[in-house]
Chain A
């Protein structure tokens, strides 16, 4: 692991509300870094600002002040189109609701990020098969999302997020809609991908079980990062207990 920061967030501030209405400070000065190859969790109760933070890093929203750098590149000054290209090339997304297009087959869904960058069809087909094998979904590539189970859908979504080999994978409550077995499978898969292919993962969750798969957890509360937990040499179960303890005292 080289010590290069994939994400650097400095004094991030986000305020909602116009001049005339009551203002709401979702983020009040957030600072942190995610190193290359790191698997970082962001935990917090709802309303704590974690989704706002993810949206800002995902360039879906603009900060009121402060700076976000991804791969040493400041994203605050990018124009609308540059932001889109940036999302298409550097970021992968996994959402709680899978966000698969139900009118495209699994394979076609996975191809989407590559078609956006106008990759050749042969290359796309190749990349889709590679990633599908890796996620063990090669058997249902021709099926439509409606024909898949929740766990399978999320695997397809993960494949779509990874097919263009992004530097950073953003996962927003990816296990939220899955049963416990599928959730465990997915988290193990994410860990494996993180370990083997140098993809940094930023996982937003309020579930301590999901969080226990991370290397490091940032606890966010009322728009600031309150504390952070580092796994180091602990086993996942030990780390899980630490998270629970921390949640018990932190609240």
Chain B
């Protein structure tokens, strides 16, 4: 009987349960994705050559666990809100509190564990797709990445079982200890006691001061070293909380007194917002920080993506060297975006390589200007090499030698005027040197060319002959970081947006009455839908805008670490905002459906 009662709700409210189920599944999936990486030591060691990578993951895992707890908490309150009236009815029928507890347990476990299992499969699928897609994007062959990672499965299931137990106990306590009436009212009473204006001003100033301290700590990261990070995290989180809590309610109170508010549903929307911001301060500040972290991770990840080719370009003035170009290589090169494409005729005998002096004068070989340390973060500059520097034991000679085919290496370079050069007998060869505009974009073409140029087997040791080879090596070194940045960013985004979505949706039970009432006094459905869109829009925009601002400020830190971190960061912001926007639209649609019922059923019997 209990089972029947517990699952009777499922049948009637399948749409509500679908929201709950899909939300929790996404939560479990993201957690699994992350855990699958974090527990895969082989993968981390193989792909990320950074000592602190384990700490990064531990930090990330703790953060994600905290978010998951909050997330499940909201999901559970959504479930409880949905079933609360039913439980009350059962209690008035004379159901023993113990029976109600059993029902809560059954329902909570069914919903949470069911969605965890679905989430696990979803997570495996996502891991597969995300890793393949990212690996292609960053030209990084990820080795040892398992889609099925047993420890991760165990961690995910244990966490969610633990959370199911906790939420069952908490729900049981709520239902059993408090009288029904007080819970229903507790949801409706808003806390209007702290409308004290002076207190709000004090709060906003304290918040702003904390924010300033936080960002100053970030800017002075060279002085404070690693201590800057925890200082910034604490002060920025605290500051955000205080500012959201005070500034917005001051603004809303101010707006409410203006003529602006007395049109259409504005007054109603502002009232709703004020009510929400009081209740949403925690979730809004959490989402702000997460938004900043996620976007920051993506921007930095992309930053590294741009960084690697630039760093690599310092290793050599040329991206690729081809000895004796053929029609096949010409065909590939024709399709590439080059900034330099030069060919040199050479004639070699037993001990010498002869070069044409006039040709060298017309198109001199180039070398990278070795920059001062602080300028190493922009595209390299090149200088022309005087022909005589190529002869003898010089750096320039060595660089040229590296680009020659293995057979020619170690021979002496002799430079001759055209006339003498043309009269020489010996093996003729051509050395073609190209420089691409962007190593990232030309990667696949360079890879094709590599097959035509001297075979890798013939190479000696770890000598890097051109910037393409440096790029390949750097990619394996730093590509892992880039991968983690992008992966973390996407995981955090999904998680934080669903967090906000749940918090908003868990309020539908109370909001339904308000919207029904508005409809009765003559607000059209269209107006109400628009009001919902505005209201939720503000709730999404606050953390979004603040998050973007934070990233904008936080990127200052990376000015010292990478090539202009602001270069094209708007693209990351745009892409991120689009994903975030999709969540917004989804929330609005769901909310409108849950709150605004269009077809009224009349009569007392229907409970209207």
Which residues from chain A sit less than 8 Å from chain B, CB to CB? 14, 16, 26, 46-47, 49, 51-52, 55-56, 58, 60-61, 80-81, 83-89, 91, 93, 95, 99, 101-104, 108, 111-116, 118-121, 124, 144, 146-147, 160
Contact = CB atoms under 8 A, between A and B. Distances in A.
A83 to B, nearest CB: 8
18 contacts: A47-B603, A51-B602, A51-B603, A58-B520, A60-B520, A60-B602, A88-B522, A95-B520, A103-B190, A103-B271, A104-B267, A104-B268, A108-B267, A108-B271, A112-B521, A115-B261, A116-B521, A144-B192
B264 A118 contact: yes
B592 to A, nearest CB: 15
Contacts of B259: 120-121
Q: Which range contains the number of B residues in contact with the other chain? A: 35 or more
Top 6 A-B residue pairs of the complex, sorted by shortest distance between their CB atoms? A88-B522, A87-B522, A84-B524, A103-B275, A103-B271, A104-B271
Contact of B256 (A101, A108, A119): A108
Given A61-B600, A144-B190, A144-B192, A91 B265 contact: no
Contacts of B521: 87-88, 93, 112-113, 116, 160
B188 A102 contact: yes
Contacts of B190: 102-103, 144, 146
A95 to B, nearest CB: 8
A102 B514 CA distance: 9
A79 to B, nearest CB: 10
Given A101-B268, A144-B190, A121 B262 contact: yes
B608 interface: yes
A93 B265 CA distance: 18
Given A47-B605, A101-B514, A103-B275, A112 B268 contact: yes
Contacts of A49: 603
Contacts of A89: 522
Nearest to B259: A121
A23 to B, nearest CB: 13
Contacts of A51: 602-604, 608
Contact of B523 (A61, A108, A114, A116): A116
A160 B268 CA distance: 14
B523 A102 contact: no
A26 B603 CA distance: 8
Contact of B265 (A26, A116, A146): A116
Contacts of A16: 601-603
B372 interface: no
Residue among A16, A80, A84, A88 facing the most chain B CB atoms (10 A cut-off): A84
A28 B259 CA distance: 48
B266 to A, nearest CB: 7
A17 to B, nearest CB: 10
B188 to A, nearest CB: 5
Interface in B161-202: 188-190, 192
A147 B190 CA distance: 11
Given A101-B271, A112-B267, 4 more contacts: A14-B602, A56-B602, A102-B189, A113-B521
A89 B602 CA distance: 23
A49 B526 CA distance: 30
Interface in B556-608: 600-605, 608
B483 to A, nearest CB: 46
B263 interface: yes
B546 interface: no
Residue among B190, B259, B271, B275 facing the most chain A CB atoms (10 A cut-off): B271
A60 B600 contact: yes
A121 B267 CA distance: 11
Nearest to B513: A99
Nearest to B258: A121
Contacts of A80: 524-525
Contacts of A103: 190, 271-272, 274-275
Contacts of A124: 262
Contacts of A88: 521-523
A115 B601 contact: no
Nearest to B274: A103
B527 interface: yes
Residue among B262, B268, B521, B522 facing the most chain A CB atoms (10 A cut-off): B522
Contacts of B263: 115, 118
B10 interface: no
Contacts of B272: 103
A111 B270 CA distance: 14
Contacts of B386: none
A85 B513 CA distance: 20
Contacts of A144: 190, 192
